[in-house]
Amino acid sequence: MTTILRATRSMLLSAATLLAIAGLAACGREADIARPNLEVNKENAAMRTEVPLTRPIALDKAGEVVSVEFDLPPPGRNASNMLMLGFRTGSPSSDAAIALTSQLLEADLPAKVRLLRVTEGSIATVPLIRPTGGAGEWVALPPDGSVPGVTVTSVDTSLLEEAGLLNSSHSETYFQFAAAEKMVPGHYRLTVELMGENPEFQGQKAELLVAYFKRGK
């Protein structure tokens, strides 16, 4: 039975890596078509409190790695009203990005994610979902916000470009812990807690990313 489980896990990781490679290749083609006009301004990014939002995070230590409040505007013309909660990494080449993606998927990175909507006089928990691995299939997170790991995804990069949050000198990869559907503009609070130590990622640069998904065609 153990051998079967290991083989199944290996097959799933291989499939995930192949999907990631396809996604990275597609991102590369898109970047060739539309180069961002605005480069990342670290000072502006650190001060930004509106989605799309980035913050430096560490992936090697267990514990709370994200605690941030932000304002959510309406989605742009190319964006859906579904919000991605995750992080991004930057690599000097597509090959390096693929290698890092494979490593992050294999590590799982189990976490607890909680999103609250903060209004005058009340705080409400926002229901979150995550992909199951099947095409277009999602499942609700349990009450404690637990997720088994991350998956590779994409977002509406036109909004990142407008906000000056794209870096054309790196191959960027987007990873999601969870997502929130049918988001309403307003004020929110997000916390993310990593459940395990991952010393292999010590020094690995990563950024929290809260961004809208791109609208489907």
**Domains (range + CATH), the chain:** 2-214 (2.60.120)
Amino acid letter, 94: S
Q: Which pLDDT does position 41 carry in this prediction?
A: 63
Out of 40-54, 96-110, 112-126, which region has the weakest mean confidence (pLDDT)?
Answer: 40-54
Asked whether the beta carbons of 54 and 74 are under 8 A apart, the reply is: no
- Rounded to two decimals, the pTM is 0.82
Amino acid letter, 126: V
Closest to 55 in 3D by CA, of 179, 210, 175, 173? 210
| pLDDT level of residue 144 (50, 70, 90 thresholds) | very high
| pLDDT level of residue 217 (50, 70, 90 thresholds) | low
Task: Give the residue-averaged pLDDT of 2-18.
Answer: 39
The continuous run of DSSP H or E covering 207 comes out as strand 206-214
Q: Which pLDDT does position 111 carry in this prediction?
A: 98
Alpha helices in the chain (DSSP H): 2-33, 42-47, 94-107, 157-162
Q: Average model confidence (pLDDT) for the chain?
A: 84
* Cis amide linkage into residue 52, ω under 30° from 0: yes
Identify the three-state secondary structure at position 99: helix
Q: What is the per-residue pLDDT across 40-80, written as a single tens digit (0 to 9) for each? A: 566 678 789 999 999 999 999 999 999 999 999 999 888 99
Interatomic CA distance for residues 32 and 43, integer angstroms: 27
